[in-house]
Amino acid sequence: MVVAAGAGMGIDSGLRFGNMGSPEAFQQRPAAVWGVYGHQLNLYRAATPHAGFGLLHAWGQRMQQGCFVFTSNIDGHFQKAGFTPARVYECRGSIHRLQCADNCKGPIWSTTDLRPQVDEAACEWRGELPTCPRCGALARPNILMADDWQWNATRSAQQRMLLDMWLDSVQAPLVLEIGAGRAVPTVRNFTRRMQLRGSRLIRINLHEANIHNPRDIELALGAKQALQALEAHLVSQGSTNHSKEKADGDAPRI
Protein backbone atom coordinates (compact mmCIF):
# COMPACT_ATOMS: atom_id res chain seq x y z
CA MET A 1 0.00 0.00 0.00
CA VAL A 2 1.14 3.51 -0.80
CA VAL A 3 -0.25 6.46 1.12
CA ALA A 4 -0.09 9.60 -1.04
CA ALA A 5 -0.90 12.51 1.23
CA GLY A 6 -1.52 16.19 0.52
CA ALA A 7 -2.53 19.18 2.63
CA GLY A 8 -5.98 17.72 3.39
CA MET A 9 -4.35 14.98 5.50
CA GLY A 10 -2.92 17.43 8.04
CA ILE A 11 -5.95 19.68 8.45
CA ASP A 12 -7.77 17.29 10.78
CA SER A 13 -4.87 17.49 13.24
CA GLY A 14 -5.73 21.17 13.61
CA LEU A 15 -2.71 22.40 11.67
CA ARG A 16 -2.66 24.57 8.63
CA PHE A 17 0.80 25.54 7.56
CA GLY A 18 1.28 29.28 7.16
CA ASN A 19 3.18 30.83 4.31
CA MET A 20 6.86 30.41 5.10
CA GLY A 21 7.78 33.18 2.73
CA SER A 22 10.68 32.95 0.35
CA PRO A 23 14.42 32.26 0.59
CA GLU A 24 14.91 36.01 0.04
CA ALA A 25 12.78 36.84 3.06
CA PHE A 26 15.07 34.74 5.24
CA GLN A 27 17.99 36.89 4.09
CA GLN A 28 16.19 40.24 4.21
CA ARG A 29 14.04 39.94 7.34
CA PRO A 30 15.59 37.00 9.22
CA ALA A 31 14.23 37.79 12.71
CA ALA A 32 10.69 38.20 11.40
CA VAL A 33 10.72 35.08 9.21
CA TRP A 34 12.40 33.05 11.96
CA GLY A 35 9.68 34.33 14.30
CA VAL A 36 7.01 32.85 12.02
CA TYR A 37 8.96 29.63 11.66
CA GLY A 38 9.64 29.28 15.39
CA HIS A 39 5.96 29.82 16.16
CA GLN A 40 4.96 27.15 13.61
CA LEU A 41 7.57 24.72 14.90
CA ASN A 42 6.22 25.05 18.44
CA LEU A 43 2.67 24.38 17.21
CA TYR A 44 3.73 21.36 15.14
CA ARG A 45 5.72 19.87 18.00
CA ALA A 46 2.73 20.19 20.32
CA ALA A 47 0.19 18.81 17.84
CA THR A 48 -0.95 15.21 17.90
CA PRO A 49 -1.56 13.40 14.61
CA HIS A 50 -5.28 12.70 14.20
CA ALA A 51 -6.72 9.19 14.50
CA GLY A 52 -6.46 8.55 10.76
CA PHE A 53 -2.66 8.28 10.99
CA GLY A 54 -2.88 5.44 13.48
CA LEU A 55 -5.35 3.57 11.27
CA LEU A 56 -3.07 3.90 8.25
CA HIS A 57 -0.14 2.66 10.30
CA ALA A 58 -2.09 -0.36 11.53
CA TRP A 59 -3.25 -1.26 8.00
CA GLY A 60 0.27 -0.84 6.67
CA GLN A 61 1.59 -3.27 9.26
CA ARG A 62 -0.84 -5.92 8.06
CA MET A 63 0.27 -5.56 4.44
CA GLN A 64 2.62 -8.25 3.25
CA GLN A 65 4.93 -5.67 1.64
CA GLY A 66 4.22 -3.02 4.21
CA CYS A 67 3.44 0.56 3.36
CA PHE A 68 5.28 3.56 1.94
CA VAL A 69 4.25 7.18 2.40
CA PHE A 70 4.55 9.91 -0.24
CA THR A 71 3.66 13.21 1.38
CA SER A 72 3.81 16.87 0.46
CA ASN A 73 3.29 17.77 4.11
CA ILE A 74 6.18 19.02 6.19
CA ASP A 75 4.65 18.23 9.58
CA GLY A 76 6.48 14.96 10.28
CA HIS A 77 3.23 13.45 11.50
CA PHE A 78 3.63 10.10 9.77
CA GLN A 79 6.85 9.50 11.71
CA LYS A 80 5.20 10.79 14.89
CA ALA A 81 2.39 8.27 14.33
CA GLY A 82 4.90 5.41 14.22
CA PHE A 83 5.79 5.07 10.54
CA THR A 84 9.39 3.99 9.96
CA PRO A 85 11.35 7.05 8.76
CA ALA A 86 12.87 4.94 5.96
CA ARG A 87 9.36 4.43 4.58
CA VAL A 88 8.42 8.11 4.30
CA TYR A 89 9.21 10.38 1.37
CA GLU A 90 8.68 14.06 2.18
CA CYS A 91 8.77 15.71 -1.25
CA ARG A 92 8.76 19.24 0.17
CA GLY A 93 11.08 18.60 3.10
CA SER A 94 10.31 18.80 6.80
CA ILE A 95 9.68 21.52 9.37
CA HIS A 96 11.84 19.44 11.73
CA ARG A 97 15.04 19.80 9.68
CA LEU A 98 17.34 22.76 9.02
CA GLN A 99 19.79 23.62 6.28
CA CYS A 100 22.22 26.39 5.34
CA ALA A 101 20.42 29.42 3.83
CA ASP A 102 23.32 29.76 1.38
CA ASN A 103 23.18 26.03 0.65
CA CYS A 104 26.92 25.53 1.06
CA LYS A 105 26.26 21.79 0.46
CA GLY A 106 26.77 21.14 4.14
CA PRO A 107 24.60 18.92 6.30
CA ILE A 108 20.87 18.94 6.90
CA TRP A 109 20.33 18.74 10.62
CA SER A 110 17.52 18.10 13.08
CA THR A 111 15.72 20.83 15.03
CA THR A 112 15.86 18.66 18.17
CA ASP A 113 18.19 21.09 19.96
CA LEU A 114 16.26 24.16 18.84
CA ARG A 115 14.14 25.83 21.52
CA PRO A 116 12.32 28.67 19.73
CA GLN A 117 11.86 31.81 21.81
CA VAL A 118 9.41 33.96 19.88
CA ASP A 119 8.11 37.39 20.80
CA GLU A 120 4.53 36.58 19.84
CA ALA A 121 3.36 40.23 19.94
CA ALA A 122 6.10 41.46 17.63
CA CYS A 123 6.24 38.09 15.86
CA GLU A 124 10.02 38.11 16.03
CA TRP A 125 12.66 35.55 16.94
CA ARG A 126 14.36 36.42 20.22
CA GLY A 127 18.04 35.84 20.69
CA GLU A 128 20.64 34.58 18.31
CA LEU A 129 19.50 33.16 15.02
CA PRO A 130 20.61 29.59 14.24
CA THR A 131 23.51 29.28 11.84
CA CYS A 132 25.03 26.68 9.55
CA PRO A 133 27.53 24.46 11.42
CA ARG A 134 29.68 24.23 8.28
CA CYS A 135 30.04 27.82 7.05
CA GLY A 136 28.39 29.97 9.73
CA ALA A 137 25.77 31.49 7.41
CA LEU A 138 22.15 31.83 8.52
CA ALA A 139 20.20 28.58 8.87
CA ARG A 140 16.70 28.03 7.47
CA PRO A 141 14.18 25.20 7.48
CA ASN A 142 14.74 22.42 4.97
CA ILE A 143 11.36 23.12 3.39
CA LEU A 144 10.94 23.66 -0.34
CA MET A 145 9.69 27.22 -0.84
CA ALA A 146 8.61 29.16 -3.92
CA ASP A 147 11.44 29.93 -6.37
CA ASP A 148 13.82 28.12 -4.08
CA TRP A 149 17.29 27.96 -5.61
CA GLN A 150 18.89 27.35 -2.21
CA TRP A 151 16.79 24.27 -1.35
CA ASN A 152 19.05 21.44 -0.23
CA ALA A 153 17.39 18.39 -1.79
CA THR A 154 19.85 15.80 -0.42
CA ARG A 155 17.59 14.33 2.25
CA SER A 156 14.52 14.39 0.05
CA ALA A 157 16.45 12.71 -2.78
CA GLN A 158 17.59 9.93 -0.43
CA GLN A 159 14.02 9.34 0.67
CA ARG A 160 12.93 9.28 -2.97
CA MET A 161 15.56 6.67 -3.75
CA LEU A 162 14.22 4.46 -0.96
CA LEU A 163 10.71 4.87 -2.37
CA ASP A 164 11.85 3.90 -5.87
CA MET A 165 13.68 0.85 -4.51
CA TRP A 166 10.59 -0.23 -2.59
CA LEU A 167 8.37 0.31 -5.65
CA ASP A 168 10.70 -1.93 -7.65
CA SER A 169 10.16 -4.69 -5.08
CA VAL A 170 6.35 -4.63 -5.04
CA GLN A 171 3.68 -5.16 -7.65
CA ALA A 172 1.14 -2.43 -8.30
CA PRO A 173 0.46 -1.50 -4.67
CA LEU A 174 -2.89 0.01 -3.79
CA VAL A 175 -2.68 3.82 -3.68
CA LEU A 176 -4.58 5.56 -0.92
CA GLU A 177 -4.50 9.22 -1.94
CA ILE A 178 -5.61 11.57 0.80
CA GLY A 179 -6.31 15.30 0.65
CA ALA A 180 -4.22 16.01 -2.42
CA GLY A 181 -5.76 18.86 -4.39
CA ARG A 182 -5.19 19.88 -7.97
CA ALA A 183 -3.61 23.22 -7.02
CA VAL A 184 -0.30 21.63 -5.98
CA PRO A 185 -0.21 18.66 -8.36
CA THR A 186 2.93 16.85 -7.10
CA VAL A 187 1.00 14.18 -5.22
CA ARG A 188 -1.62 13.78 -7.94
CA ASN A 189 1.13 13.36 -10.54
CA PHE A 190 2.63 10.57 -8.44
CA THR A 191 -0.79 8.91 -8.19
CA ARG A 192 -1.15 9.12 -11.97
CA ARG A 193 2.22 7.44 -12.46
CA MET A 194 1.19 4.66 -10.09
CA GLN A 195 -2.06 4.16 -12.02
CA LEU A 196 -0.08 3.84 -15.24
CA ARG A 197 1.89 1.07 -13.50
CA GLY A 198 -1.36 -0.74 -12.78
CA SER A 199 -2.13 0.45 -9.25
CA ARG A 200 -5.69 0.76 -8.05
CA LEU A 201 -6.74 3.97 -6.34
CA ILE A 202 -8.80 5.06 -3.39
CA ARG A 203 -9.00 8.85 -3.47
CA ILE A 204 -10.12 10.70 -0.37
CA ASN A 205 -10.81 14.35 -1.06
CA LEU A 206 -13.50 16.52 0.46
CA HIS A 207 -13.87 18.82 -2.53
CA GLU A 208 -12.05 17.26 -5.47
CA ALA A 209 -12.64 13.52 -5.48
CA ASN A 210 -14.03 13.01 -9.02
CA ILE A 211 -12.00 10.06 -10.28
CA HIS A 212 -14.58 9.15 -12.92
CA ASN A 213 -13.14 5.68 -13.14
CA PRO A 214 -15.38 2.75 -12.21
CA ARG A 215 -12.33 0.64 -11.29
CA ASP A 216 -11.40 3.01 -8.49
CA ILE A 217 -13.05 4.45 -5.40
CA GLU A 218 -13.60 8.05 -4.44
CA LEU A 219 -14.65 9.30 -1.05
CA ALA A 220 -15.72 12.94 -0.86
CA LEU A 221 -14.95 13.20 2.85
CA GLY A 222 -12.35 14.73 5.12
CA ALA A 223 -9.29 12.58 5.82
CA LYS A 224 -10.07 11.45 9.36
CA GLN A 225 -13.75 10.81 8.67
CA ALA A 226 -12.99 8.80 5.53
CA LEU A 227 -10.30 6.68 7.20
CA GLN A 228 -12.53 5.95 10.17
CA ALA A 229 -15.33 4.98 7.77
CA LEU A 230 -12.95 2.60 5.96
CA GLU A 231 -11.93 1.06 9.28
CA ALA A 232 -15.59 0.59 10.24
CA HIS A 233 -16.14 -1.11 6.89
CA LEU A 234 -13.13 -3.39 7.38
CA VAL A 235 -14.33 -4.35 10.86
CA SER A 236 -17.83 -5.07 9.55
CA GLN A 237 -16.30 -7.27 6.83
CA GLY A 238 -14.23 -9.11 9.40
CA SER A 239 -11.07 -8.40 7.43
CA THR A 240 -9.19 -6.78 10.27
CA ASN A 241 -8.13 -10.16 11.60
CA HIS A 242 -7.85 -11.96 8.28
CA SER A 243 -10.66 -14.23 9.39
CA LYS A 244 -12.40 -13.96 6.07
CA GLU A 245 -11.23 -13.31 2.57
CA LYS A 246 -14.07 -11.66 0.79
CA ALA A 247 -14.42 -11.78 -2.97
CA ASP A 248 -15.63 -8.29 -3.65
CA GLY A 249 -15.83 -8.07 -7.41
CA ASP A 250 -13.36 -5.62 -8.82
CA ALA A 251 -13.31 -3.23 -5.90
CA PRO A 252 -9.87 -2.73 -4.36
CA ARG A 253 -9.41 -4.41 -1.01
CA ILE A 254 -7.20 -3.11 1.72
Please report, as ranges, the residues that interact with Zn ion according to CB under 5 A.
100, 104, 106, 132, 134-135, 137
3 state DSSP class of 28: helix
β-bridge partners, 229: none
DSSP 131: B
* Rounded-to-integer distance, Cα 121 and Cα 123, Å: 5
Would you say 152 or 205 has its CB closer to Zn ion?
152
How would you list the strands of the sheet with 201-204, edge to edge? 88-90, 68-71, 2-5, 175-178, 201-204, 217-219
How many Cβ atoms sit within 10 Å of the Cβ of residue 138? 16
- C-alpha dist (Å) from residue 185 to 16, 179, 213, 227: 18, 11, 19, 22
